Amino acid sequence: MATEHAVPAPGGISCRELVELVTDYLEGALSEPLRARFEMHLAACLGCAAYLDQMRATLATLGDLAEDGVLSDVRDRLLEAFRTWSRRA
Amino acid sequence: MTVIDRRADRVARGDDPALLEALRARDEEAFVEIVSRHHRSMLRVAALYASSPAVAEDVVQETWLAVLNGLDRFEGRSSLRTWIFGILVRRARTGGQREARFVPFSSLAQQETAGGESAVEPRFFADTASSWAGHWVSNPRPWTGRVDQRLLTAETHAHVRRAIEALPSAQRAVIVLRDVEGWSAAAACEALQLTPGNQRVLLHRARARVRTALHEYIDGD
């Protein structure tokens, strides 16, 4: 149980509310006053700072999944179509 | 460096005019490049409108033919990607409507943005009776440093892939285009014909579910 904060919650946002604002925060879609309160909470709350860190790590992992994975038979079929097209055109 | 090399270099960097120029010159490498760049995303988008993976494959294949046939008339006012996905979505929609099990994407998006869905299960927060109402019962721990190496493993990637596959389809399409393929919010809204608000709700729910899956994997044992 975390006991390092006094009630009320920092920034006037509870942790439970903050996690629902994380995407809007990362997308730059929060209003300026709300962004300031979000960051005020974050600066005072280890749990939410860790949550945001986990979300950033999640995004980094998602970004690692991109790969050039077109099956070779699909590629061959498309190349065949391309060759037909370039001969005709 | 030859002219061809320089062009190949610009094509590899994703330079649209260079790619277009190469495609119009019937450069096979350029075609392979653009296919490998967009084909998987196109399948994801087509799958939203199609009743089966086979139908989605057909729609994407037809789209490539339409792209080739339209290439010489394309004026480059939009990006190549926007143009290609515009063709894809138009084809997927008309194809989808002819099929019995067609589910309009707009209704999927509506279903998946409706209702309250918590990013983190309520049990992780102190309840309203507590003076700590809404605070973490137990603080999450940062993953960086502690599990950086683990996040890079094939096993982690497999977990994340499974989490993505388990998502409702509109959420899956949004997170794949945005976070896997690296599209901008505007490009995803345009390809999927979503409002910016709905796009963010879908992205938020999808990211939260994938984080939860990673949390269970990393912190669960």
- pLDDT tens sequence across A22-58: 999 999 999 999 999 999 999 999 999 999 999 999 9
* Kind and range of the H or E run holding B18: helix B16-24
Work out the burial of residue A73: count CB atoms within 10 Å of its CB; fewer than 13 is exposed, 13-18 middle, 19 or more buried. exposed
Copy the structure tokens of residue A1. Answer: 């149980």
Q: What residues of chain A lie within 8 A of the CB of B139, using their CB? A: 2, 46-47, 50
pLDDT-derived band at A14 (thresholds 50, 70, 90) equals very high
Quick one: what percent of chain A has pLDDT higher than 90? 58
Beta-bridge mates of residue B125: B136
Copy the structure tokens of residue A65. Answer: 């999944």
CB contact under 8 A, A85 and B72: no
Contact B33, A68 (CB under 8 A): no
pLDDT-derived band at A3 (thresholds 50, 70, 90) equals very low
Q: What residues of chain A lie within 8 A of the CB of B66, using their CB? A: none
Residues 58-87 of chain A with CB under 8 A from chain B are 58-66, 68-70, 74-75, 77-79, 81-83, 85-86
CB contact under 8 A, B214 and A58: yes
| Contact status of A25 with chain B (Cβ, < 8 Å) | no
Q: How far apart are CA B42 and CA B191, in angstroms?
A: 10
Closest CB to B131 among A7, A19, A23: A7
Question: What's residue B9's pLDDT?
Answer: 54
CB contact under 8 A, B215 and A54: yes
Closest CB to A9 among B134, B141, B161: B134
Closest CB to B179 among A2, A59, A79: A59
Q: What is the CA radius of gyration of chain A?
A: 24
Residues 36-75 of chain B with CB under 8 A from chain A are 36, 39-40, 57, 61, 64-65, 68-69, 72
Q: How far apart are CA B83 and CA A30, in angstroms?
A: 31
Is ipTM > 0.85 here? no
Q: How far apart are CA B149 and CA A65, in angstroms?
A: 16
Q: What is the mean pLDDT of residues A74-83?
A: 88
Q: How far apart are CA B41 and CA B13, in angstroms?
A: 19
Closest Cα of chain A to B109: distance in Å?
17
Instruction: Please name the residue that has the structure tokens 């990637």.
Output: B157
Residue A13 has pLDDT above 90, yes or no: yes
| Contact status of A88 with chain B (Cβ, < 8 Å) | no
Contact A68, B38 (CB under 8 A): no
Residues 31-50 of chain A with CB under 8 A from chain B are 46-50
Global pTM exceeds 0.90: no
Copy the structure tokens of residue B134. Answer: 């809404």
Q: How far apart are CA B3 and CA B203, in angstroms?
A: 42
Q: What residues of chain B lie within 8 A of the CB of A5, using their CB? A: 135
Sequential pLDDT tens for chain B (221 residues): 455 555 555 555 556 788 999 999 999 999 998 998 889 888 888 887 777 888 889 999 999 999 999 998 998 888 888 889 889 988 887 776 565 455 667 777 888 888 888 999 999 999 887 888 899 999 998 886 655 566 667 788 888 989 998 998 889 989 988 998 888 999 889 888 899 999 999 999 999 999 999 999 888 75
Closest Cα of chain A to B21: distance in Å?
14
Provide the mean pLDDT of chain A.
87
Q: How far apart are CA A63 and CA B4, in angstroms?
A: 31
Question: What's residue B68's pLDDT?
Answer: 94
Closest CB to A17 among B32, B131, B134: B134
Best residue in A3, A18, A45, A82 for a mutation probing chain B (most B CBs within 10 Å)? A82
SS3 B136: strand
